[in-house]
């Protein structure tokens, strides 16, 4: 397991075999923001000083070896809309972005919700998905893959995917009104808490598998925003006053 150890981003091992692929998930380390946003807060919609966020984003993208001018993102709404990206820039209303354009990098912002990164190695297409519980229930991951299939002729056998760092099952307590929307294999009732516990990682990984991606080509983050809060931001644990991480993926083409 890759040791975070104050690094500003985590590179999913599933992607390291591809020399032309840039993929990373930020941590909370290595930035300039102060408490409660300490320190690498990349969220532009937080109450942090905007100058700090700008500098943090410069640091993060520089460490990835790319520029923010190459980045495409969206203001996320916990829905299931997917944007087909042809150029860098910021949109609104999408919770997943896909592209096959070299040197255009797509990403999502998280602080408990699940980021999912997808790479179609045959067609050099990528996807970044933001899946909170609503997006997970709406099957946004499966819909993203189906959109990649329609747009880029993506096939399951050519895909590699990473289910990123989010709130883990042991920390994600919900009421019956949320739990009833999940299949039984992704929830359990804790009688001591009087609450259900939901496994967002497994629920989203199941959508990757349902599309047909081989299990050997799916990686699930070993980290949690709550139990590894010293390394990641958690909106729930920190009661909303915290930063945001970015999960980014794209094809880097030289020349």
The overall average pLDDT reported for the chain is 96
pLDDT tens string 139-182: 999 999 999 999 999 999 999 999 999 999 999 999 999 999 99
User: If we measure between CA atoms, which residue out of 216, 230, 220 comes closest to residue 165?
Assistant: 220
Q: What pLDDT was estimated at residue 243?
A: 98
Q: What pLDDT was estimated at residue 7?
A: 76
Q: What pLDDT was estimated at residue 254?
A: 75
Q: How far apart are CA 46 and CA 25, in angstroms?
A: 19
The string over 153-172, giving b where at least 16 C-beta atoms fall within 10 Å of a residue's C-beta and e elsewhere, is ebebebbbbbbbbbbbbebb
Q: What pLDDT was estimated at residue 255?
A: 61
CATH of 11-167+212-251, one of 3.50.50.60, 1.10.1370.30, 3.30.360.10, 3.60.140.10: 3.60.140.10
Q: How far apart are CA 88 and CA 127, in angstroms?
A: 14
Residue 5 predicted with pLDDT over 60: no
Report pTM: 0.96
Query: What is 80-119 written as a DSSP string?
Result: --EEE-SSSEEEES-SEEEE--TT-EEEEEESSSEEEEEE
pLDDT tens string 202-255: 999 999 999 999 999 999 999 999 999 999 999 999 999 999 999 999 999 876
How crowded is residue 99: how many other Cβ atoms within 10 Å of its Cβ? 26
pLDDT tens string 34-82: 999 999 999 999 999 999 999 999 999 999 999 999 999 999 999 999 9
Which class for 173: exposed (0-12), middle (13-18), buried (19 or more C-beta within 10 A)?
Answer: middle
């Amino acid at each position: 397991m890759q040791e975070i150890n104050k690094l500003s981003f985590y590179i999913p091992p599933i992607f390291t075999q591809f020399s032309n692929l840039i993929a990373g998930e930020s941590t909370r380390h290595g930035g300039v923001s102060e408490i409660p946003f300490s320190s690498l807060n990349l969220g532009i919609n937080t109450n942090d000083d905007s100058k700090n966020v700008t500098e943090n984003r410069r640091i993060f993208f520089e460490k990835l070896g790319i520029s923010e001018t190459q980045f495409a993102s969206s203001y996320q709404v916990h829905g299931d809309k997917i944007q087909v990206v042809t150029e860098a820039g910021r949109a609104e209303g999408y919770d997943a972005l896909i592209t096959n354009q070299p040197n255009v990098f797509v990403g999502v912002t998280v602080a408990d919700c699940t980021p999912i990164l997808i790479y179609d190695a045959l067609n050099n297409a990528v996807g970044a998905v933001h899946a909170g519980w609503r997006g997970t229930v709406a099957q946004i991951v499966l819909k993203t893959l189906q959109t990649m299939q329609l747009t880029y002729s993506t096939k399951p056998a050519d895909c590699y995917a990473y289910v990123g760092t989010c709130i883990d099952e042991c920390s994600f307590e919900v009421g019956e009104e949320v739990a009833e929307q999940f299949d039984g294999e992704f929830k359990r009732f804790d009688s001591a808490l009087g609450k259900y516990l939901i496994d967002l990682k497994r629920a989203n990984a199941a959508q990757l598998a349902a599309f047909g991606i081989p299990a050997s080509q799916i990686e699930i983050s070993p980290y949690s925003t709550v139990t590894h809060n010293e390394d990641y931001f958690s909106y729930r644990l920190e009661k909303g006053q915290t930063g945001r991480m970015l999960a980014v993926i794209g094809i880097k083409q030289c020349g």
